[in-house]
Structure 1
Amino acid sequence: MALSTTSAPTNTTIWAEDQDLDHTSDSRCILDNEDWTYTVIPVYILVISVLGIVLNVFVLMVFCLHKKSCSTPEIYLSNLAAADLLLVSFLPFHAVSLSNRHNWTFGQAMCKVSYMSIIMNSFCSIYFLVLVSIDRFLALVHPLSYKRIRRSIFAKLGCLLVWILGFLFTLPALIYRELLQHNNRTLCSISNLSFTTKMTVSSVNSVFGFIIPVFIISFCTIKIIKALKNRLVHGVNAKKTDQKATTLILAVLLAFLICWVPFHLMRFLYLPHDAKIITECKTLRILYICGQICPYLAYFNSVLNPILYVVVGKNFRQKVKELFSQWNHERITTVSHTSTSTNLSRVVNHII
């Protein structure tokens, strides 16, 4: 829920992006010297887009091309990488739009799809982390009782369900987001939406897209940490694979919360603004700055995840080594086979 702005040569007018454009004059606030949002942030978006695409493609290649099948946590993490790749692939369109002071030049279809990718990433990412948290909880707290549930087939079905639900949560963007003409520019925004509808959509997204999954993740994480402590106290060692997977998952969870909690808190701050309770210029300026920083901090999570896989994930690093060894072996085999075929051909020709 970033902010959109209209600009004059010497000042900037601010309003919430999803605010009805017909009523923006009711809460105008002139902000000076905010051109950094059109210069610095687009460059930042392009950087995280390039890094995110390269790193997440690399992660997916490791998981998909490795000769061994993925474990249950790796199925969830590979789908998380796919969700991150979906997001960063569409961010360059927003960078170009922002550098043109929110003038959207890519058509209505791309307007809808690009914002749908953001919503789907936000929803799918947190629910893939819910699945992986539940998996770690079952692996460490109830390793025998729920062993059958942790089979890969159930993990894949769970991921499919998350993708379907994620798409359903993007339907408001598909239905309501459109191209609007404002101050000689084309904006990709939402207009003519009642406050009740906005509150309903925002409340549903906050409850099902943040509050409930964070509660589940927190519960599982607390139980996981307690289980690990109890094993240390009683001198019981967990399997090395479980320990490595759990360390990686906890790191990914922490990174997600650091990146996404400010974004969701900002959405709550917008409620009194949408209700026309907040109109002071100083408060609107703070909302504006938060609206420029918090979403792009959240998007950085899509770059941070694959870095964590390499830095923290010992199993992932081992998979990378094995994959490169596999490629080297195939290359050597191919070269050897080609060399043998060439030698045989020479022998045949010599005999003939």
Structure 2
Amino acid sequence: MESSIHPSDNCTAENKPLYVFYSVVMIVEFVLALPLNLTVIYLFIFKLKFWKTNTNNIFLFNLVLADILLLICLPVKAYSFQMGERRSQNEVVCKAMLFMLFLNRGASIAFLTVISIDRYFNVVHPRKKNFLKILKKSPHISTLIWLLLLPLTIPTMLKTFECCNSFGREDENVTDIFREIVFFTQILIPFIVLVFCTAQIVNRLNKKTVGDRTKLRRAVFLYNYHGPSLLT
């Protein structure tokens, strides 16, 4: 006779001391990161007045907001781990945490990508005014990013599944497949963009530095060669 396993058993932490250690790490991370993020938000709003400055500051401010979503989840996750559970037994809390984690990851990747593209055009193609004009509308772009992320994140809350996680499920449906596609797309495409922009920026800066050094050497050479004759 096969022993039946209750669904909730899969949500119990098998190694409770390890999960207690995880909870302590999360609490320390929360205590250290929250004041820093709040300080950054204060500086952006009251000191830099980010909405009046360059586009990067607006994107960076939204990146900080995305990090706040992750910080909100840490105390709840730490409490569940302390109780020896991998997630909250409350389905509403569980889905809300999962939603904010997905939204945090998507927003962080999206804004990092936009910041890289903005710096790429400012450094490598500073004369591309048409595209730079688009990037200047950073408040509209930021709002659009948040709005586009919502329909990509909502599927995480549409279906109730065991332990608020679809890992190991045999009856995968369209929602699960869509979530996996979004997951890998959010990572793969921005990764390619980030690598390309970073490589181009570094290459451009290296060429500019080499050019400046060459001009400096020429100036020093001309001064050493003609300088004494000019002084006599």
Aligned to 1:259: none
State the Cα distance separating 1:200 from its structure 2 match.
4.1
- CA positional deviation for 1:204: 2.8
Structural mapping, 1:1-352, within 5 Å: 6=12, 12=14, 34-66=15-47, 68=49, 69-102=52-85, 107-146=90-129, 147-151=132-136, 154-177=137-160, 187-190=163-166, 194-195=171-172, 197=174, 198-207=176-185, 209-235=186-212
- Cα distance in 2, alignment partners of residues 103 and 229 from structure 1: 48
Give the whole-Å Cα distance in 2 for the aligned partners of 1:103 and 1:145: 50
> TM-score, with normalisation over the residues of structure 2?
0.76
Q: Given the two structures, how large is their TM-score scaled by the length of structure 1?
A: 0.52
In structure 1, C-alpha distance between the alignment counterparts of 2:190 and 2:87, rounded to whole Å:
33
Change (3 A) 1:169 1:52: farther
Give the Cα–Cα distance (whole angstroms) in 2 for the partners of residues 193 and 59 of structure 1.
Answer: 45
Higher helix share: 2
* Cα deviation code 1:131-177 (max 9, x no counterpart): 000000010011122342332xx111111121112222211221124
> Using a 3 Å threshold, how does the CA distance of structure 1 residues 79 and 67 change in structure 2: closer, same or farther?
closer
Find the aligned partners of 2:74 and 2:36 in 1 and give their Cα distance: 15
> 8 Å contact 1:56–1:81 — kept in the other structure?
yes
Distance in 2, Cα, partners of 1:172 & 1:63: 33
For residues 259-318 of structure 1, the C-alpha deviation after alignment (integer angstroms, 9 at most, x for no partner) is xxxxxxxxxxxxxxxxxxxxxxxxxxxxxxxxxxxxxxxxxxxxxxxxxxxxxxxxxxxx
CA contact (8 A) 2:123 2:204 kept: yes
CA-to-partner distance for each residue in 1:214-271, whole Å, 9 max, x for gaps?
A: 11111111111111011111118xxxxxxxxxxxxxxxxxxxxxxxxxxxxxxxxxxx
The SS at the match of 1:95 is helix
| Contact residue 52 and residue 84 of structure 1 kept, 8 A | no
Instruction: State the AA in 2 paired with 1:202.
Output: E
Amino acid at match of 1:158: I
Name the CA distance, whole Å, in 2 between partners of 1:193 and 1:176. 15
Residue 198 of structure 2 aligns to a residue whose secondary structure is: helix
Contact 1:79 1:159 in 2 (8 A): yes
Q: Which amino acid aligns with 1:122?
A: R
- In 2, Cα distance between equivalents of 1:67 and 1:156: 16
In 2, distance between residues paired with 1:210 and 1:67? 31
**CA RMSD in angstroms, aligned pairs only:** 2.4
Structure 2 counterpart of 1:29: none
Aligned length: 198
Give 5+ residue unaligned stretches, structure 2: 1-9, 214-232
- Matched residue SS, 1:234: helix
The answer on whether the counterparts of 2:12 and 2:86 sit within 8 Å (CA) in structure 1 is no
Q: 1: CA distance between counterparts of 2:26 and 2:73? A: 10
The answer for the alignment partner of 1:269 in structure 2 is none
Deviation at 1:67, TM superposition (A): 5.7
Aligned partners of 1:111 and 1:188 also within 8 Å: yes
In structure 1, give the amino acid aligned to 2:149: G
Residue by residue over 1:40-62, the C-alpha shift from the partner in whole angstroms, topping out at 9 and shown as x without a partner, is 10011111122222111111110
What amino acid is aligned across from residue 6 of structure 1 in structure 2? T
Higher strand share: 1
- What is residue 270 of structure 1 aligned with on the other side? none
| Matched position secondary structure for 1:176 | coil
CA distance in 2, matches of 1:136, 1:50: 32
Query: What are structure 1's unaligned runs of at least 5 residues?
Result: 13-33, 181-186, 237-352
